[in-house]
Chains A and B, each alone.
Chain A
Amino acid sequence: MTPSPAIAGRPHGRRSTPESRAWWLGQAMFFPAMIYVLAVIGLPFALAVIYAFSDIKVGSVGYHFVGLQNFTSILRSATFLRALYDSFIFTIGSQVLVLIGSTFLALALEKKFRGRGVVRFLMLLPWVAPVSIGAIGWKWILDSLYSVINWVLIRIPILHLDKFNPPQWLGEPALAMASVILVHTWRLLPFSTVILLAGLSAIPKDIPEAAEIDGAGFWRKMFQINIPMLLPILNVALLFGIVFTFTDMTVVYILTRGGPYDTTQVVPSLAFFTGVLGGDLSEGAAISLFMVPILVVVAFLMLRQAHRTEVT
């Protein structure tokens, strides 16, 4: 997006002072960002709100205001309620795993050791790799016929797995949900770890040292000093993680398409299937709007908590 030459280049009268020039330059520099936000976020959001209160479908003409009809209809739909339930399971499950995993990873990667740079780079890979490549890789790993996990499990004698009927990672409801959660955790772990690493490096080194001198062992130092001091930043990581997870459908879409029998269907993927693939724009919009109040409440709670535990 290029700045509008009409504004960027406009001389501000003859009495142009350095301040007014700086003001105009500021406006010009800000303009592309504003256009971007309005066009890519503001406009679709407004459209979604407008659609959600209408009966618009792909190909339909005209606009009929129908009030809350779409919302009452989705609230009665078992598919939607199942998706809402799955969304919570998916979000809570993956966030618990991400928080525990990234806390330990961050604490481990903060220590100096040979090859730390390489390990940190490898750890970031799931985050920087395109999600489709990662998820397709996982699709193969969890495949019903070629799953490398099953190949390994079958060869472990004590497990006594049936060679001809191995676990169907993406084909059984509980396993499919677990797989989706694990893959999403794998994706989000680096992000959360990086945030926590930054938070850890902000803890003055002499505080854990003081704890050590005061007689604290490893666990006490971890649970009574390091983790409590990390709490505000953990909150930030959690807030971002919840938002990223609750609104994300990539992993679900690529791995299971919501199946089997909608048991991994989450709210965003349902909105996509209903609104875009199913052509029912108004109901799709209503489904996706349903996430907004939930996310607002989450954000409000987390920010308030972060404020309270702020440390100096």
Chain B
Amino acid sequence: MAVVETRGLTKVFKQGELGAVNDVNLLTQEGEFLVFLGPSGSGKTTLLRMIAGLETPTAGAILIGGQDVTHLSPRERRIAMVFQSYALYPHLSVYNNIAFPLKAQKVPKEQHKQKVEWASGLLGIGKLLHRKPRELSGGERQRVALARAIVREPTVFLLDEPLSNLDAKLRASAREELEEFHNRIKTTTIYVTHDQVEAMALGDRVVVLHQGVVRQIGTPREVYDEPADTFVATFLGSPPMNLLEADGVIVGFRPERFLPAETKSAAPSESRVSLRFHVEHSEYLGAERILYGILEGTRFRDKPVCARVSSNVLEVYAPKSAYNFVVPEPELKFFDAKTGKRIPPRTISWQ
């Protein structure tokens, strides 16, 4: 097991253009599950590929277990990677796919069988060993890719969107399995995804990336509840945080904290902001409703906002009608309007 560190890691694909990854400094903890989260084009895969050694950094250094590996080839880094497409060798059986890293690393032949059986047993694919990848389902392929990755007990595990090719139902169970799997093997893992639910569910910590820059590193709770800037605030959460601008300050609140005034769970009356919410349309999602609309009165008149109302609230919110909603004051997050960075809470005039 080992920690991964990047120092000022930068990748510029075309000279003169903006870098795909810019000055990224990271340090994982021993056995940690670290998630790179960002929209497409945010540089998360490039960052992972540099750590794997598939991409040469333009500047900066990569350390694995304290050793500078920046100029080492992928095979010398003792890492394992699971690709988005799984990249199974189509002409080899499952057994030979899993045994391939052992052969390549010149592990004594007597140990192959036992190690392949151990890895395939761990992932429950012991019965598929004689099959070819094309005879497997998506979920089975993913397990074979994982088995191939763990079979030689790597120091670091890299996973590039391994669940994105699975259907929604399978993805949820695969996520759970992956979590359990990590708890069992406790290898430092870096996981790339654009799916915030995956990131929050799996990550010990989440690295939010945007345009090749790290916007925030923190536990899922930190990045969700204490976003470092407006990008993180709006990228995480669905629907995104409501943002209102006034006096050089952006004030934000989550749709699920924007509640009908009469709700019991709303905060005590002394510390809440009342707003008149004109509902324009609503989406029924089963466990909750999303209400889209604009604010009425006050200085934020006509600003679009949305609210997320749990299905426990039975009240009907008809379109084209206005209702009294409140936001508990501690739930307000403040950002600098110019830089978008988080600033300490302050009082603003709502009228």
Seen from chain A, the residues whose Cβ lies within 8 Å of a Cβ on chain B are 204, 206-207, 209-217, 220, 224-225, 228-229, 231, 309, 311-312
Contacts and interface: CB of A to CB of B under 8 A. Distances in A.
A210 B87 contact: yes
Contacts of B83: 206, 209-210
B52 A213 contact: yes
B90 A213 contact: no
Determine the interface band of chain B, counting residues with CB < 8 A from chain A.
Answer: 20 to 34
Interface stretch (B97-105, B168-176, B252-260): B97-105
Contact of B134 (A210, A214, A216, A311): A311
Q: Is the interface of A mostly helix, strand, loop or mixed?
A: helix
A211 B90 CA distance: 12
Contacts of A220: 103-104
B87 A207 contact: yes
B81 A215 contact: no
Interface in B58-97: 73-75, 79-81, 83-85, 87-91
B54 A204 contact: no
Interface string B235-268: 0000000000000000000000000000000000
B148 interface: yes
A231 B89 CA distance: 13
A215 B91 contact: no
Contacts of B74: 209, 212-213
A214 B91 contact: no
Nearest to B134: A312
A204 B104 contact: no
Contacts of B75: 212-217
A231 B75 CA distance: 26
Contacts of B73: 212
Q: Please indicate which of the listed interface residues B91, B103, B133 has the most CB atoms of chain A within 10 Å of its own CB.
A: B91
The 6 A-B residue pairs whose C-beta atoms are closest, nearest first, are A215-B104, A210-B87, A214-B101, A312-B134, A311-B90, A206-B87
A211 B80 CA distance: 10
B105 A204 contact: no
Contacts of B85: 204, 206
A211 B54 contact: no
A108 B79 CA distance: 28
Contacts of B91: 228-229, 231, 309, 311
B62 to A, nearest CB: 14
A262 to B, nearest CB: 44
B156 to A, nearest CB: 11
Nearest to B154: A213
Contacts of B81: 210, 213
